[in-house]
Structures are given as structure tokens and as C-alpha cells.
Amino acid sequence: MTLTPPTHRLRRLAAALAGAVLVAGSLTTMTAQAVPAGGHGKPVVTSPDLGPNVTIISPDMSTSEIKGTLAAISDKQLNDEMGTNRYAVLFLPGTYGTATEPLHFTLGYYTEVAGLGANPGDVTINGSIDVYNRCLGDGGTSNCIALDTFWRTLSNLTLKIDKSDVADGCKASANFWAVSQAVSLRRLDIGGANLSLMDYCSAGPQYASGGYIADSRLPYVISGSQQQWLTRNSDVDGWSNGVWNQVFSGVVGAPDDSAFPDPPYTTIAKTPLSREKPYLYVDGAGTWFVRVPSAQQNTSGVSWSHGMTAGRSIPLSEFYIAKPADPVSRINVALAQGRNLLFTPGVYDVDRTILVQRPDTVVLGLGHATLTAQRGATPLRIADRPGIVVAGLTMDAGTKLSPVLLQVGQARGHAWGRTSSTRNPITLSDVYFRVGGPHVGKAVTALEINADHVLVDHTWIWRADHGVEDFTTGVEGDTDRWNTNIGRYGLVVNGDDVTATGLFSEHFQRYSTLWKGNGGRVVFYQNELAYDAPTQADWTQPDGTLGYPGFKVADRVRTLSLVGGGVYVYSRNNPDNVTTSGFEVPDRSGVTLHHILTVNLGAGTITHVVNDTGGQVDNSNTGTPQFVVDYPTP
């Protein structure tokens, strides 16, 4: 996401925790000692081999040792937007940092930090975990923004903010989380000071472009310059400000939205369908598990307020632990044998489809594990079977055209059949998609959903608007990107009763989202139209309609609801390009849109917000949205 585009958009596993060796798809474990909180007793920890890019932090490590370990990762990753490094940092149960020596660290690209407790209170960090603006100009001294701070994760711990030892008074005033897409905060208990979703210290308040919080207890939150945000199933002490699109679903303490669009808040009392993301934890005996939360309907607040999140625990020994060098054939054998699948951090070159076909299979990625299509493959295909959960993965298009990067369910009539479940939906959590960026990318469709009763809980589907590719000249905005970085469709939904909570889809050459199924529900939608269409002819539909809407509902759809959505235009290559409407939906009472907007970011025109309703945004009203409260009008 760019508003003013930038120029270009461990400690190793401790020896005491050395663990299992993966041999021919089997998990062989060794025992190791780890000191629990308080330092009394030494339970045995069964530690799996999670690869060289997983760092396990133990409470017997000194604060200075932990700082050095985390700084080594952060220093690598703070500017490594298009790199191949992937890291996960896992804190064993215990307390880290003290009143006299708080623990401070920052998160860079492709880094996941998580506690290994059954509940967030089992891991406590006294200090701060920050993300600041990234300065992109003049050798890192100017153009300090958060528009490109992507791909990082923080979850399952308690953060007691303590910056009493921070000399910079501005940076001591809050815990900063200045981020944009593909970033999640989950299962957190944060207190002690404010949480700021923008960095107002690095060159003053600057742009930030959206994020996601779920299942967390929050202090007072300064939203500031965040253009759009979804907070789901959480508790919040207070919330300040909103730029264009701030959505709250099932949030205790959420702001009132009766004055929409000033401020631009959208509040839903209960989330219609939710399932929290699976997480690793270590029990009191030192055994590793993956907790798989159950799906819930019509809920609010955190899932862990009265004990462990409802669900099931699977011993990690029932997972195939994949490494980047593992062939797909071995992974598929393990899945066919009934194993679950855990991807350790890294980039996986996938030259044939990974097939997930058994009900209730869990596929979990650590450290933003990335599956990159090779030779035009579809990297991952999920059968239409109840309870399959995929979480924590990035699907990356390769240099040869793939038909789709992730397919959920086969087309109707396929031999696999359709056996989805309303109570146990197929679920995608923090699953991201990238077409281009670190290299040329080509995919017809990023995510295709053919199954019914699917839940998509936070995704960013991105056809890259910037990167390191040399598209003829290597200059960002070069028109050859349109012909080289191929991404026709972001999300295509063919199934019925599909729910999306936190849907970001951007820059595709036709429809970023094309919804063909009935009974769809979308809680929060954010879209930017393609930046790089060279001419109006390139950006015109076959029937002569100018432009492709950012959210398209097929004419045959009879029921769908969308709550809290925005479509933005920045036609960088041709500011004269026109898009007829930001949202295009059939005119019938069962298809409803609530609190939607369009906005111009500096170039291009959207004539209407939805169909022929709502005002025009263009270069004369840059940054000033046009809103529609409800469509159709009650």
C-alpha cells in the first residue's frame, strides 16, 4: 500500500533445547532441561527440531542475553522487505524483563514472536515490543512511514509495557505498533501504557495502512493515522481517532458508531462466526502441543477469559515437521497417512500441489513460512472436508503462470464431493498471498474458494505494486509491470455461506474480489485498485464498463452482507483512468452493504461508491472519502 510511493516498496536454538531430528518423515525426540518461571524445579521439555530459524527463549536466560539474541534478528529484518529470511521466536512459560531492566525489542519483516503458554498469562514480558516507521528516503533519514511495514506476527503472551528506562521521551510514551498489511496481534494481554498503532515519533505522525487484532485484551489504543483497521473479539479500554475505516466486531468497550462517518467507526456487537488461530504451547510436563480452537458463533470478548480457549489439543508428535528442503512427495505421504503439518520458517519451492484431503487436518506455518509456486504449480489445495484449518502461511506466485495459488474445494461435481460443515468450517487464519514483489509473479487467481461453509479470518491478497523486479527499466511504476506481473483475480468465491473477517485484497488486474456464492458475510474489507493500468483500454471491462470495481458481487447472488469496507484509487501509471464504481452488487434486498467508502489517494477517478450511488472521488478531492451508510437505502 502506498499513498506517496517510496522509492522501493538468534540466537540459534539453544543447545540446551536441542531436540528432535526429522528422519524420513518421522519425529524422533530428545529431552532437554528448561527452568520454569521462578526457577524452582527443572521439568523435562520435549523439544522438537524446528529448524535453525526458530529461537526458543527460556526464562533462565538473562535479559541482556535475550536482548542481544533478538537484536541480531531485528537488525537483519528491519529493512528486509523482499528477502528470504524467515524467523520465529518462541518464549517458554515464565517472566521476562524486570522493573530495573525491562526487555525491549523491535520486530522486523517475516518475524513471528509468540508465547508457548496454554494461556497468554503464562508468558509475561515486562518492557516493550515495538514496530516503528521505516525511513525510505535519503539513506534512511526521510520519508518515514509505516505503509510498507508488512509480514510480522505477535501472539499468546502478556505484555506489561514499561519504558521507564527509555531516554527518548516520545518513544517512552507508548508501545508502538506502526504497521500495515499481513500483520496480526492475537491472544495478547497488554497493559501498563497506551498502545499506538502509528509512530508519531519518527518524523512526526506519518501514514500507516491497516492491520488486525483478535482475541486480545488491550489498553487505551491510539489509532492515529491508521487508515483502516479491524479489531475482533477483544476487550479495549478506549480508542482514539480513525481515518477512513475502523471496524470493531465482538469488541467489549468498542466505540459507538452512531455518528458514522465522523468518526468512521463501524461496530458489530457480536462476531457472527469466528475461530481463533491454532497455537503452540508447552504443558506443565514439558510436552509440546498445538491447540486448535473450536469455531464459535455470535461471540464477543476474548476466548481465554475463563480458562483455556475451547478446542482440542494435538500433540506435536502427530505433526509432520517440514523443512524447506523437503520434497512435496514426502509431505503428501505424511498428510495421506493422517499426519498434521507444521511448516518451519523458510521459503519452500513447491513444484507440485500439496494436497490436504482429510477432515480436521491442521496445517500451521511458523515465522511466515512461504510456499513459492514453481513451474506454474498450484502450491496448496484443500479438499471440501470439515474442520481443515490452515494458518500462518504465505502463498507466493512464481515466474511461470499458476492457475491458482490456493484452492479450497474442487469445482462442483468433482469426485471429492462436498461435505463441509456449518459448525466445523474449513478455516484460513493469517494466510497471505503475494503476486510479485521479490521476483516476477504470475497467477490467474490467488485464492479460489469452491467449498461451502468456509471461514477466512484475516488475509492479505496482494498483487505487488512495488518490489525489486526489473520490469524493463527497474523503475517503480514502469508500464511493463502490467504485462509482466500477472494477477487477474485476488479472491474468487464460488461456495455458499463463506465468511470473511478481515479481508484485504489489492491491485489485481480485473476483480480483486469476485463473489459468486450465496450467504456470504464480510466483516471488514479493504481494497486498492490496480496502480499500474497503462491506459483506459487496459482498465475497461469487455462490456464497455469503465474499470473493475474493487468488490464485485455476481448478478446471480441473492444474499450477501458486507460491513465496513473501503475501495481506494491511485492510478499511478495513468491518472486519467476512470472506474465506474468501487463496489458493484446486484440490486436486491438480500444483498446489503453497511458503512462503505471510496477515496482518491492522488491519481484516478471512481465515479460512484456502489453502483450508481455515492459521490465521485478524483484528483480534486484527494484524501476526502465519499461514504454510503447503507446500500440499498433502508
Q: How far apart are alpha carbons 233 and 301 in whole angstroms?
A: 5
448 is catalytic: no
Beta pairing, strands 183-191 & 152-161 = parallel
Q: How far apart are alpha carbons 314 and 300 in whole angstroms?
A: 26
Which three cell numbers mark 360? 480436521
Side chain identity at residue 585, one-letter code: V
- Which are the contacts of 261, defined by CB distance < 8 A and separation ≥ 6? 595, 597, 625, 627, 629
Closest to 505 (Cα-Cα) out of 519, 489, 521, 484: 489
With beta carbons less than 8 A apart as the criterion, state whether 221 and 239 touch. Answer: yes
Q: Catalytic residue among 469, 476, 506, 528, which?
A: 528
Side chain identity at residue 423, one-letter code: R
Query: From the CA atom positions of the chain, what is the Rg in Å?
Result: 23
With beta carbons less than 8 A apart as the criterion, state whether 508 and 530 touch. Answer: yes
Which three cell numbers mark 436? 510479485
Query: Rounded to an integer, what is the distance from CA 489 to the centroid of its chain?
Result: 18
The phi and psi torsions of 462 (rounded to 5 degrees) equal -125, 115
Q: How far apart are alpha carbons 198 and 228 in whole angstroms?
A: 12
- Which are the contacts of 351, defined by CB distance < 8 A and separation ≥ 6? 328, 374, 375, 377
CA atoms lying within 13 Å on the CB side of residue 435: 35
Continuous segment of H or E residues that includes residue 219: strand 217-222
What secondary structure, in 3-state letters, does 15-72 show? Answer: HHHCCCEEECCEEECEEEECCCCCCCCCCEEEECCCCCCEEEECCCCCHHHHHHHHHH
- Which are the contacts of 228, defined by CB distance < 8 A and separation ≥ 6? 209, 210, 243, 244, 245, 246, 247, 524, 526, 566
Closest to 116 (Cα-Cα) out of 288, 311, 322, 277: 288
Q: Which sequence positions are flagged as catalytic?
A: 528
